A and B are shown apart, each in its own frame.
Chain A
């Protein structure tokens, strides 16, 4: 299903990010082509979320380069220092990148429908009627159309996360970022969210998923990346990644612990 366009959709080159002394991202490079489904795993504190949030400019990197559709994105260089680009450019980039958070972050004061309509109406300037049809279509896709008039507080975690996915999809993004989408869910609710993401993957959406869920990695991923201490230690297709010939003992022990 890969796009013929050879330019990677998003590319991080040698990015570094420090929180005080601690190096959250230590010279990380990763390339994601159109249609790719990349799963990032690794122990907590390894920099997975930071990497994902950097791609959406919610986290500011100290050095390195991020290219979106082949063009440097999100930063300007002022006196040799990397400075976040102006708000207008950042917003334009973010409309093309959907993000789903571990804690859902649905807008508590809006109904399910209102949440999904909010981006298209406020950011893209769509007419309400048009945005409503679009929102219902997206809610249908995640199986939440019947809860359109409910408020988030009345939904289960799995339902909230599916609404959050619909909200991101309504912006018609080119890339979807999932930051531990099922980590805050009760085990019996993981499946419904997993199904929604899998459906999206089958439609050819480009996505990067940070997760501990190995099912994702095996079933959905084109490649699996393992991170530790702010570095990507390995990035391989799942067959090889989970293969018996995995040489790095740390990765093996991590996978064994999780599975």
Chain B
């Protein structure tokens, strides 16, 4: 009974002053707005700062206090009083712990005041996970193409060198077609064009077909040139021993092309690492697409720079590996 009475009393007591208080708040907010409109920024800040913190259970003025303090924070930020701005935002958070705008303001101020290297590290931490999973997809595309294209290239090259027209013409056609049109166009056709012919492919399948055939066509010409660069006497000597054409190719001619093939093939494969970026246009999330997504979400160029560094790392490792292979393969030519 006494408790209930106390409650009613308290309610009455609290209600009285707060009616007047609410009126003050409206007045102060109006003063602030007017001062802002007239460019009296210091007066505006003073008015907004005077808006009192809401009491417990007071619902109506919550919004007013928060927006007033946020105005204070912005005004302080505008005159580069970062500590003050952060303090104002913290005031808001002290009463409304979920206030997103206040949080963002503090975060962005803290980020701006961070040393460059620390900010860069933070960005790396944020972007690397998705960039690395994109890079894994890029590597998968590169490795599959490196396995597919030399086989395809060799078949097309041998077809080109064949004495049978029925083999020579289609191989010539493949090289003509795939070297003569942009890879981007080929990828578009395979992924977006083939469905209209009733063939629908998954992005990865379409990407591997596009890269595989395109690189086979390029490697075919390199391999053909390599085979033709081997002196004719080698083939004659092999034939004179009684070897078949296949045996002569496998045992004598092709092994001697390896050393000559490595520099131009290394060149092609380095280009391949970068060309995989083109498949980002057919719904594949690889390194370039991942970087692009990060950039568009955060408008932060660090994502692009990081992707560049990863590409450079890949091409550097490749170049190194191919140099080692070249050293090993050519032993017999050293005197």
Contact = CB atoms under 8 A, between A and B. Distances in A.
Given A108-B333, A123-B247, A153-B334, A103 B240 contact: no
Contact of B237 (A95, A107, A123): A107
Contact of B241 (A92, A94, A108): A94
Interface in A52-97: 56, 58, 87-88, 91-95, 97
A238 interface: no
Contacts of A119: 241-243
A151 B332 CA distance: 6
Given A101-B237, A154-B335, A107 B242 contact: no
B167 to A, nearest CB: 16
B256 interface: yes
Contacts of A118: 241, 251-252
A102 B62 CA distance: 103
B255 interface: yes
A18 B239 CA distance: 22
A95 to B, nearest CB: 4
A34 interface: no
A109 interface: yes
B280 to A, nearest CB: 42
B97 interface: no
Contacts of B333: 108, 153
Interface string B229-245: 00101101111111111
A7 B73 CA distance: 115
A95 B243 CA distance: 8
A122 B250 CA distance: 10
B40 to A, nearest CB: 89
Given A101-B236, A153-B335, A108 B245 contact: no
Contacts of A154: 335
Nearest to B247: A122
Instruction: Count chain A CB atoms within 10 A of each CB in B252, B256, B333 and give the residue with the most.
Output: B252
Contacts of B238: 107
A101 B333 CA distance: 21
A109 B256 contact: yes
B237 A105 contact: yes
A220 interface: no
Contact of B243 (A97, A123, A167): A123
Given A153-B333, A154-B335, A91 B244 contact: yes
Given A151-B332, A154-B335, A106 B237 contact: yes
A99 B240 contact: yes
A52 to B, nearest CB: 11
Contact of B252 (A58, A98, A99, A107): A107
Interface string B140-182: 0000000000000000000000000000000000000000000
Interface in A98-148: 98-99, 101, 103, 105-110, 118-119, 122-123
Interface of A: 56, 58, 87-88, 91-95, 97-99, 101, 103, 105-110, 118-119, 122-123, 151-154, 164, 167-168, 171
17 contacts: A56-B240, A58-B240, A87-B244, A93-B242, A94-B239, A94-B242, A97-B240, A105-B236, A107-B238, A107-B252, A107-B256, A109-B255, A118-B241, A123-B243, A123-B247, A153-B332, A171-B241
Shortest Cβ-Cβ A-B pairs, 4 listed:
A95-B242, A105-B237, A105-B233, A99-B240
